[in-house]
Amino acid sequence: MRSDPSDEPRVAVLVPCYNEAATVARVVRDFRAALPSAEIWVFDNNSTDGTADLARAAGAFVRREERKGKGNVVRRMFADVEADLYVMVDGDATYDATAAPRLISMALEGGYDMVNVARLETGEKAYRPGHRFGNRLLTGLVGRVFGTRTTDMLSGYKLFTRRFVKTFPAVSTGFEIEAELMIHALELGIPIAEISAPYGERPADSASKLQTWRDGFLILRLIGALIRRERPLEFFSLAGAALALVSLILGLPVILEFRETGLVPRLPTAVLSAAIMLAAFLSFAVGLMLEAVAYSRREMKRLAYLGVPPRP
């Protein structure tokens, strides 16, 4: 007995691109073969090499996002495209399209709202050493703060449900969007799964847009901002503890001297120490107040997420 075609999920493959003329047509063809009923959407981020024309010729729907940065492209894709399941993949032909059906099966069978693809290198140049180390460092940092649910946070190959996509409050503008997606899911306790799939080298005539130090710094800065926003009590308590330690280092000799002589010869140091200790208490108080705000914001995001019904 055949299932009703109307029960089949609508699948959209989202491909953010910037100057990927050497690979975009191959990506479209590969995902068309892997997911024949899916819509392939290529969002061109001001390419100058004909990426959009090649994607259109390969059979993709093409739209242009003029604001530079992958985060801006992802925000536009999530807003514009309507589907039940969204497979997001980079346009550099390094990810394995044949893993897409497995992603969809896992999401449907397990009820996951996000399925991440951890990369398995198939070539020596697939991963640059700096990228590998940075990915492990940042993934480990996020895991320690928000919980460990992934081994490859910065993978550009992920599946999302409509429920996730339409309630994700994207704020990033660049490559740090991958970290924001994962932290959002971890923070709200959204069901997450992960599979592994081959990750290959870029073609010889294709160049990576990633810059190890710059993008790593941007991702680290975003993680810091999200920790401050989502975990304000821990963040400001740590800052307060650091300030209190500095205050004690400066003030303890003054206190000991006062106990021995009854004099305070280093009055400026005493005043500075007291001011830093007040700042430490203020930092802790700010953390308490912002923790209440963060809790309220999490409740609102959770309610927005629950307001979109899951696909039966």
What pTM did the predictor assign?
Answer: 0.78
Q: Nearest CA to 244 among 283, 288, 289?
A: 283
User: Does one domain contain both 82 and 94?
Assistant: yes
Q: Which domain holds residue 17?
A: 5-230
Q: Is the pLDDT of residue 289 over 80?
A: yes
Is the pLDDT at 158 greater than 80? The verdict is: yes
**Claim to verify: residue 186 and residue 265 sit in the same structural domain:** no
Assign residue 66 the CATH number of its domain: 3.90.550.10
In this structure, the answer to whether residues 237 and 208 fall within a common structural domain is no
Crossing angle of helices 232-261 and 267-306, in 10° steps, is 160
Same domain, yes or no: 266 and 134 = no
What confidence tens digit (pLDDT) does each residue in 200-239 have? 876 665 555 555 566 567 667 767 777 787 788 888 999 9
187 and 254 belong to one structural domain: no
Please tell me the total count of domains within the chain.
2
Instruction: Please report the DSSP string for 147-161 in residue order.
Output: ----S-TT-S-EEEE
From 230, 257, 280, give the residue that closes a domain: 230
Question: Is 311 inside any structural domain?
Answer: no
* Same domain assignment for residues 202 and 249: no
Summarised one tens digit per residue, pLDDT across range 26-64 is 999 999 999 999 999 999 998 998 999 999 999 999 999
The verdict on 28 and 81 lying in the same domain is yes
Per-residue pLDDT, 127: 53
Based on the domain organization, do 111 and 163 belong to the same domain? yes
Among 230, 264, 293, the domain boundary falls at: 230
For residues 223 and 243, state if they share a domain.
no
Q: Residue 163: which pLDDT band, with cuts at 50, 70 and 90?
A: very high
Task: Report DSSP letters for 35-54, one per residue.
Answer: -TTSEEEEEE-S-SSSHHHH
Question: Considering the domain boundaries, does residue 29 fall inside one?
Answer: yes
pLDDT band at 312 (very low <50, low <70, confident <90, very high): low
Other C-beta atoms closer than 10 Å to the C-beta of 297 total 15
* Last residue of one domain, picked from the residues 214, 230, 246: 230
What confidence tens digit (pLDDT) does each residue in 86-109 have?
999 999 889 999 999 999 999 999
Rounded-to-integer distance, Cα 140 and Cα 148, Å: 8
Residues 173 and 297 placed together within one structural domain of the fold: no
**Average pLDDT of 64-75?**
90
- Same domain flag for 236 and 162: no
Cα end-to-end span (Å), the chain: 20
